[in-house]
Structure 1
């Protein structure tokens, strides 16, 4: 038989197997184990929640013109990056981790892993830009004017830097057959860099420094200063303290505090979710760990946490932002046009008593997002970003 003429590679115990028996053995080896099926189910839930949630974030800002603020432009950019990570990177990564095989070929090895790195870089830089923008706007309100035009320019810079920074991966990534097989089979193929192990270690250290440690340090300092400014007094920085505007200032201050809490929660989740994957990358090189069931499980857990971070941000917006919560409801319900909050917060406060008698009739005429009670809260949430 032709099968017996094939050179015997690998363990001698497999030399007498026919091609069909050899393929059956490999299929049994890469078939998911029980714990892997649990993690596959978890990845599936993250996939659905992440796609729907991040799409809703973009829809919310697109449909509600009052939400087109500087911070929300950055949040939409973050949602786009998270959407890309989940859509293009989660499925092949799960398949790769479970089967220990890259089945998608040389071209997709380069493209998918490159855009995964680009998307993660965009997410990190966006979070950093948000923290710096809020820091300037709140701590130095008279020296810096944040505008949507500047936000769009910053987003363009973020994507440019991300595309250029990860170019080395696009160059060096390729498919490599790490385990010799008796037959020409696409099993146990890996997508990995062609440069030396030392170069790969240096590259991972650079990524840990510039895409995790330094940004996290900057965000921590920025939000620490923001929290000090917003919670140390009952006055908004940069605004005059007058009795006429006292109520409006208090409402705006509460809104800024809520926005700050939401952004801090996003940063904390980023720090927690990306720590395991960076730690595992360092341990792989420093301890020279071999691939086994434990390492496969740790890799799956670390990857699902990264993808969970991309899926959890819309949930944070839903629980901590009234505007996002109302827009999410509106997207799922048959509703009329949204409330157009065209009056300034000062005008609303000063005219509240005058309009109190006609508020009920206005509410009947302008239903919003399956929840008429939001009109009572619209004044309070006008400036929530």
Structure 2
């Protein structure tokens, strides 16, 4: 039933605002989902960082990069996700303008660290497959430092345009303000240019480069043209397969985010006629955020399923050593004899 907002009494006005602010069942569900993602993601990524640090047999170039991905995901889950949940459930941004800027900065930094790390891993694995030479570990550590510096520099422009403003509550023939919102202050044209550059230069082009490198690696490994043993070829195939899965999941998780940002910047909104439906309005925000935050959780799960070394280390951390089964102990002894430079 439509509401005649022009003829609302003061009591009806207050009731309308209260109805808007009161969380419905879908909003409570989204809070539960995001908090679940936070628990799963923080636990999984902390586990990845911990097992890489504690076991020197995992001190390989690729595993350090995977730990770097975990650190960047933790940044989002611990700093960016909680204020977002509070903002979504209360319909207002309760924090200062500085916190608003910091959230955007760390969110962008994490995404850029992820894509730059995936590019660096792809180049690293491509070199390992196409050339017998292997870069020293200190080059990996230096690359990680450079990745974070570049990601932070790329993240600097947007926070300067971010601030808190009165949040607008709009319905047909009715507009008022409630609380505050955290948003950009630049012009529409600048916003469009920024979103296009961000999507093309920091999402599409890196994915094209990674896809080309992975395709070349797959071709070389499938044709068995390398003059190395079968075991090394098998390990490199596993590492390449896991890299491809990590990249595919990253692309799938962040595609809705970039699609949402581009459509918003260019005012392409096929759901404009459904804005009176709160569920449709909530889904429009929920899906991109859910996919982006899910990307912070899936990698540890992927490592567990696709990498025997990570799976073994996860079990050792989660199970007291004295409770490991006899079969698992044999596995530990067997895999301890494997070359430390293997990935999975």
| TM-score category, normalised to shorter length | 0.7 to 0.9
- Counterparts in 2 of 1:379 and 1:254: CA distance versus 1, 3 Å: farther
1:308 maps to 294
The SS at the match of 1:372 is helix
The SS at the match of 1:161 is helix
2:173 maps to none
Does the aligned pair in 2 maintain the 1:172–1:193 contact within 8 Å?
Answer: yes
Answer yes or no: is 1:139 the counterpart of 2:119. Answer: no
1:197 maps to 188
2:165 maps to 176
Distance 1:269 1:180 in 2: 36
Answer yes or no: is 1:165 the counterpart of 2:150. Answer: no
1:279 maps to 259
**Match 2:57 to one of 61, 66, 75:** 66
Answer yes or no: is 1:55 the counterpart of 2:46. Answer: yes
* TM-score in terms of structure 2 length: 0.87
1:263 maps to 243
The SS at the match of 2:178 is coil
**Higher helix proportion:** 2
Distance 2:167 2:31 in 1: 25
Distance 1:114 1:169 in 2: 7
Number of residue pairs matched? 327
Deviation per residue, 1:137-159 (Å, 9 max, x gap) = 211334xx322111111111111
- Counterparts in 2 of 1:379 and 1:86: CA distance versus 1, 3 Å: same
Counterparts of 1:1-385 in structure 2, within 5 Å, are: 12-13=6-7, 16-17=10-11, 22=14, 25-142=16-133, 145-179=134-168, 187-233=178-224, 237=226, 239=228, 249-289=229-269, 293=278, 294-335=280-321, 371-374=328-331, 375-379=333-337, 383-385=341-343
Deviation per residue, 1:288-347 (Å, 9 max, x gap) = 5456632431221111111111100000001111111111111112227xxxxxxxxxxx
- Counterparts in 2 of 1:215 and 1:368: CA distance versus 1, 3 Å: farther
Does the aligned pair in 2 maintain the 1:127–1:267 contact within 8 Å?
Answer: yes
The SS at the match of 2:220 is helix
Q: CA deviation at 1:382?
A: 5.0
Does the aligned pair in 2 maintain the 1:176–1:190 contact within 8 Å?
Answer: yes
Distance 1:201 1:295 in 2: 22
Consecutive unaligned residues of structure 1, counting only runs of 5 or more, are: 1-10, 240-248, 337-366
Q: Which has the larger radius of gyration?
A: 1
- Counterparts in 2 of 1:54 and 1:189: CA distance versus 1, 3 Å: same
1:8 maps to none
Does the aligned pair in 2 maintain the 1:43–1:304 contact within 8 Å?
Answer: yes
- Counterparts in 2 of 1:52 and 1:263: CA distance versus 1, 3 Å: same
* TM-score in terms of structure 1 length: 0.78
Does the aligned pair in 2 maintain the 1:50–1:310 contact within 8 Å?
Answer: yes
Output the aligned Cα RMSD: 2.6
Does the aligned pair in 2 maintain the 1:329–1:370 contact within 8 Å?
Answer: no
Does the aligned pair in 2 maintain the 1:101–1:189 contact within 8 Å?
Answer: yes
Consecutive unaligned residues of structure 2, counting only runs of 5 or more, are: 171-175
Deviation per residue, 1:184-203 (Å, 9 max, x gap) = x9934211111112111211
Does the aligned pair in 2 maintain the 1:49–1:311 contact within 8 Å?
Answer: yes
